[in-house]
Amino acid sequence: MSQTVLITGATGGLGLRAALAVAAAEQGWHLVVTGRGPGLAETRERLAERAPCTALPLDLAELAGVRRFADDLTRRLADGELPPLRAVVANAGVQELGLCFTPDGLETTFAVNHLAHFLLVNHLLPSLVEPARIVLVASDTHDPKRMTGMPAPRFTDPETLARPADTDEERTPSAGRRRYTTSKLCNVLTAYELARRLEDTRVTVNAFDPGLMPGTGLARRYRGVRAFAWRYLMPALIAVPGLNTHTPARSGAALARLVTDPELAGVTGAYFSNGRRTRSSEESYDTGKAAELWEGSERLLTPGGRCPGDEARRR
């Protein structure tokens, strides 16, 4: 049976390794991968050696581009150019240490890590063919009790997260790392809220923590001692038993499992970390905050309206 999986941010690191692992499952998957820059063509060639692959450019920092991408993918699916869409993996992410804004005037980390994927997933909901799976890549850094060395998230309200005040405190690297952990909390809140909204369907929604993957490009903004440690010292932690530190290949295989493993077919509204299902932070189970995030995200994306997938969910 031929079927399509969409994986965002698959030109390297976790996304590429997950795509390779999905291809290795030999379940008839057609890979649709996204990325930016010249590496996309090379990625397609590498993946096409293992499974059918379509590589499409996508800049998650531009919401108009996300809509165009979703419209184009919807058309390709409707025209039979691609097999039925059965899985979406919202993997791409950024960590901006400074206070940066997208062309839409939205704080970049929140816009890319949460809002763009929120828009993309909702836009594609009507195109999903059941049974289907949605996976949002989160991070253990959203949970202060995990002691990851990252600042605790600070969930306020979607509008403030999207447009924080331009202050000296907000321009610091510490504030940038806090915005990252907050965006990862938003990923988990969104996964649980969407799972609740789809509870009468055969579409599952789960959140995934890849663990610490030293040496990858996520920390590309780091400088000085932090950059040196990330690239050359912290990879040694992979060999230490008991730590949630992995190579991209190992984490990619764990992420692919959420798409391919038959034993997980009915699992929804769950959080996976270090290769197993576990509890996320206490705050992530706050249904009031999840609803506030959902409704606020709708307002940011479609003032006065609702997300494209809402009508499909009501049917």
What is this structure's pTM?
Answer: 0.88
Query: What is the number of alpha carbons within 13 Å of residue 67 lying toward its C-beta?
Result: 7
Q: What is the pLDDT of residue 211?
A: 83
**Residue 244 pLDDT grade (very low, low, confident, very high; cuts 50, 70, 90):** low
**240: pLDDT strictly greater than 50:** no
Residue (of 137, 2, 116) closest to 64 by Cα position: 116
Residue (of 223, 191, 3) closest to 95 by Cα position: 223
Q: What is the pLDDT of residue 25?
A: 96
> What are the tens digits of pLDDT across the range 29-86?
999 999 987 889 999 999 999 999 999 999 999 999 999 999 999 999 999 999 999 9
CB contact at 8 A, 144 and 282:
no
Q: Are strands 270-273 and 276-278 parallel, antiparallel or unpaired?
A: antiparallel
Residue (of 308, 101, 93) closest to 208 by Cα position: 93
The residues annotated as belonging to the active site are 180
The answer to whether the Cα torsion of 12, 218, 87, 143 is positive or negative is: positive
Q: Which distant-in-sequence residues (6+ apart) come within 8 Å of 315 by Cβ?
A: none
Tokens 């791409």, residue? 92
CA 84 vs CA 2, 77, 125, 204, 286: distances in Å? 7, 7, 12, 16, 34
> What are the tens digits of pLDDT across the range 253-302?
999 999 999 999 999 999 999 889 999 999 999 999 999 999 999 999 98
Domains of the chain, start order: 3-211+246-314 (3.40.50.720)
CA 162 vs CA 65, 187, 289, 300: distances in Å? 18, 14, 15, 8
Find the helix packing angle between 117-124 and 63-78, rounded to 10°: 20
**Pairwise CA distance, residues 124 & 122, whole Å:** 5
**197: pLDDT strictly greater than 70:** yes
Q: What is the pLDDT of residue 128?
A: 98
Q: Give the full edge-to-edge strand order of the sheet including 276-278.
A: 53-57, 29-35, 3-7, 85-90, 128-137, 203-209, 270-273, 276-278
Q: What is the pLDDT of residue 302?
A: 81
**232: pLDDT strictly greater than 70:** no
Q: How many residues does the chain have?
A: 315
Residue (of 207, 39, 180) closest to 121 by Cα position: 207
Cis ω on the peptide bond leading into residue 158 (within 30° of 0)?
A: no
Strand partners, 30: 4
Name the strand (E) or helix (H) holding 311.
helix 310-314
- For the residues 2-17, what does the mean pLDDT come to? 95
**Residue 221 pLDDT grade (very low, low, confident, very high; cuts 50, 70, 90):** low
**Residue 224 pLDDT grade (very low, low, confident, very high; cuts 50, 70, 90):** low
